[in-house]
Amino acid sequence: MESDVTTTLSELERKLKELERELESVGRGGELDAEPAQAGWTPPPDPSAGPPPPGATPLTAVWHGGATPPSGPPPVADEPVRVVPPPAPRIVAQPHAAASPPPPPPPPPASAAEPGGLHEQLDELIAFRDRLVRTTDELVGELSRVLDELGVVAPPPPPPDPALTPLSGDVVVEAAAFDLATLASLEQALRAVGGAAHAHVRALDDGVAYLDVRLSAPLPLGAALRAAWPVPFAVTGAGDGRLAIAPA
């Protein structure tokens, strides 16, 4: 039964297409040679179409199939199936790991101005001076031996510089032939020497100023004063708590 209906519908569709071609040829030529069709189904007139225009030949559609024409409206095609795409995967941004904090800065170096560090530096300077004096004496002795072998009389070695004599405790500085302004700057320079607890002018006698200085550690005061005081001077004596200086 289903195959007959399918065959009938196919035949009906073919006949309708032929009818459309005939209608197109009538519109172009004004005539239509229509042979009597086989007995079959005649579609009912459409009341909404209205009467044909004057002068037009009415056409009648004839069913050419051999079976009974189908009744009722044509079959309705199945509703298309909506294909819903799957939802896109959700991407969640992962937060970056927190950066590690920078390492703490290194501790500042110990200040060299601490009393302990200053004493150690002074001890190293005194030990270096002792090594230098010992090395100088050895060189002078070796030079004298060589000159004696050669028959040459060596000159006597120069006396040691009194400015390198270490002093400690309470020291009296004797400054000769300096004016008052120079003595004031000398007092300030003695106070600036490392290891000097205090320094002040005690007396003036016949152009010689006496300054009292207290040292907290053994120190070659003459050499330290040369580094702290820009005025040129000569050390004329040092030892036993006394340092004598004069203009150079």
First-to-last alpha carbon distance for the chain, in angstroms, is: 145
- Domain of residue 174: give its range: 161-248
Phi-psi region for residue 206, left (φ > 0), alpha (ψ -120 to 50) or beta?
Answer: left
Task: Check whether residue 169 and residue 247 sit in a common domain.
Answer: yes
C-alpha dist (Å) from residue 72 to 19, 66, 92? 21, 18, 58
Residue 224 inside a domain? The answer is yes
Q: Give the pLDDT band (50/70/90) at residue 248.
A: confident
Look at residues 130, 158, 186 and tell me which one is the last residue of a structural domain. Answer: 158
| Gyration radius of the chain over CA positions | 66
Residue 229 inside a domain? The answer is yes
Q: What is the reported pLDDT for 230?
A: 92
Task: Check whether residue 143 and residue 177 sit in a common domain.
Answer: no
**Residue 45 one-letter amino acid:** P
Task: Check whether residue 193 and residue 151 sit in a common domain.
Answer: no
Residue 42 inside a domain? The answer is no
CATH classification of the domain holding 178: 3.30.70
| pLDDT of 20 higher than 50 | yes
Task: Check whether residue 168 and residue 154 sit in a common domain.
Answer: no
Look at residues 102, 135, 158 and tell me which one is the last residue of a structural domain. Answer: 158
Percent of the chain residues topping a pLDDT of 70: 62
pTM above 0.75, yes or no: no
Cα separation, 174 vs 197, in Å, equals 18
Residue 179 inside a domain? The answer is yes
Cα separation, 152 vs 145, in Å, equals 10
Task: Report residue 66 as tokens.
Answer: 């051999």
Look at residues 129, 158, 187 and tell me which one is the last residue of a structural domain. Answer: 158
Residue with the bigger pLDDT between 6 and 131: it is 131
Considering its fold, how many domains does the chain have in total?
A: 2
Task: Check whether residue 221 and residue 240 sit in a common domain.
Answer: yes
Q: What is the reported pLDDT for 24?
A: 79
- Bridge partners of 237, per DSSP, are 244
Residue 244 inside a domain? The answer is yes
